[in-house]
Structure 1
Amino acid sequence: MRVRITAGHTAGHAEYVITSGGRRLIAFGDALHSPIQIGHPEWSASVDHDPARSAGHRRRLVAELEEPGTIGFGVHFADVVFGRVRRDGGGPAWHSVDADASPAAGHRP
């Protein structure tokens, strides 16, 4: 487990990265407040004390969340807190981890 301090958000903000068996989970806390920010990392929340730095961090975070074997935990994401970033149409989008396990996705339930 690693802790990463992420400047630009709330004071003292940190993310947690848990890695095991070639997979990882990134608990990104206040870096993203809504799944819509996945496609629009330039959109800041009112608590971001440095919107330019936090937007830069969100861009890097979204790219990292797109990497294979990576799951995100977005505490502010209401009922879809565990997900993956996938490209839909023109850009990245948040997808529930549960959607990955659906029969339509080629997995057993």
Structure 2
Amino acid sequence: MATLYYIAIGKKSSTGHNQPIIRMTNEDSSVQVVDTSLQQRMTGSTSAATGSIQLILTDLTCTDTASTYYCRTFYLNGETGNDETTANITARTYPEQIEMFPSPDRVQYDNGQVL
């Protein structure tokens, strides 16, 4: 039986460095939010029994997509070990669903006038 010490989900920087978003340790089974700029857009769950952690981001932005995310673990299974797996995330938008309306609603605008 393995003992899990640490599990984290994060994003790889452009230079390949790990930037944790959330993590959980064996000392505190609650999720610790590392990247607080995402806190309003994330939900997640953990299971200390299975040593799992889940992250769900909502209201995706351009910086969330086309990125490499990772999950990293540190554990003891006879000897100390660690694993890391990555996944590339790409989100698509559908421009035909975007609607734009001028404000205020006018028939004609002058050159250089703010819409």
Give the TM-score normalised by the residue count of structure 1.
Answer: 0.27
- Identify the structure with the greater strand proportion: 2
Going by fraction, where is helix more abundant, 1 or 2? 1
- Structure with higher Rg: it is 2
